[in-house]
């Protein structure tokens, strides 16, 4: 028997993520992208939502650097994807404090050390960095 999470919009989103794809929903009734995954459109209340796959390019809208007591600094960033939706993530591949508003970035999948696809989550890397196969 499938879990409720596996049958949910979030489960579908995770399935795409495990394939190295950043998926989002699109509402034909509203003519707008919808993110985070939902059962109904937040603009119209319609259940008619289509899954689409992002090209993975975006622009940093906001960035904050977190300096934990232990460990390395990291950033928390809001990224505006070119398809018109925004998500909270982080930008990897450079020092946390070097992430700046307006920076062009591209999507990658982060799999924690010792983790597997079940533990993956979306991150971004500078768009000018060499292609790494979509894994960060």
Is residue 105 within 8 A of residue 98, CB to CB? The reply is no
Is residue 28 within 8 A of residue 50, CB to CB? The reply is yes
Please report the pLDDT score of residue 112 as a whole number. 78
Please report the pLDDT score of residue 2 as a whole number. 52
Please report the pLDDT score of residue 19 as a whole number. 92
Q: For residue 114, count CB atoms less than 10 angstroms from its CB and return exposed for 0-12, middle for 13-18, buried for 19 or more.
A: exposed
State the Cα–Cα distance between residues 63 and 61, nearest whole angstrom.
7
**pLDDT tens, residue order, the chain (136 aa):** 455 455 799 999 999 999 999 999 999 999 999 999 999 999 999 999 999 999 999 999 999 999 999 999 999 999 999 999 999 999 999 999 999 999 999 999 988 777 666 678 999 999 986 555 444 4
Q: Give the predicted TM-score (pTM) of the model.
A: 0.84
Please report the pLDDT score of residue 133 as a whole number. 45
Please name which of 42, 51, 44 lies closest in space to residue 29, comparing C-alpha atoms: 44
Q: Which residues contact 79 (CB under 8 A, 6 or more apart)?
A: 58, 59, 60, 61, 86, 87, 88, 89, 91, 105, 124
Question: Rounded to the nearest 5 degrees, what angle is found at the Cα of 35, between the Cα atoms of 30 and 40?
Answer: 55
Does CATH number 3.20.20.80 belong to domain 55-136?
no
Per-domain residue ranges for the chain? 1-53, 55-136
State the Cα–Cα distance between residues 69 and 74, nearest whole angstrom.
12
């Amino acid at each position: 028997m499938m879990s409720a999470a596996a049958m949910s919009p979030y489960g579908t989103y995770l399935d795409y993520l495990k394939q190295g794809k950043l998926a989002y929903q699109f509402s034909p009734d509203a003519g707008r992208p919808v993110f985070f995954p939902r059962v109904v459109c937040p603009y119209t209340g319609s259940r008619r939502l289509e899954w689409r796959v992002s090209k993975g390019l975006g622009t940093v809208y906001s960035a904050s650097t977190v300096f934990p007591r232990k460990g390395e600094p990291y950033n928390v960033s809001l990224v505006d994807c070119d398809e018109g939706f925004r998500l909270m993530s982080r930008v990897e591949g450079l020092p946390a404090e070097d992430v700046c508003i307006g920076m062009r970035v591209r999507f990658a999948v982060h799999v924690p050390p010792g983790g597997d696809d079940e533990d993956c989550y979306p991150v971004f890397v500078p768009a000018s960095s060499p292609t790494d196969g979509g894994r960060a």
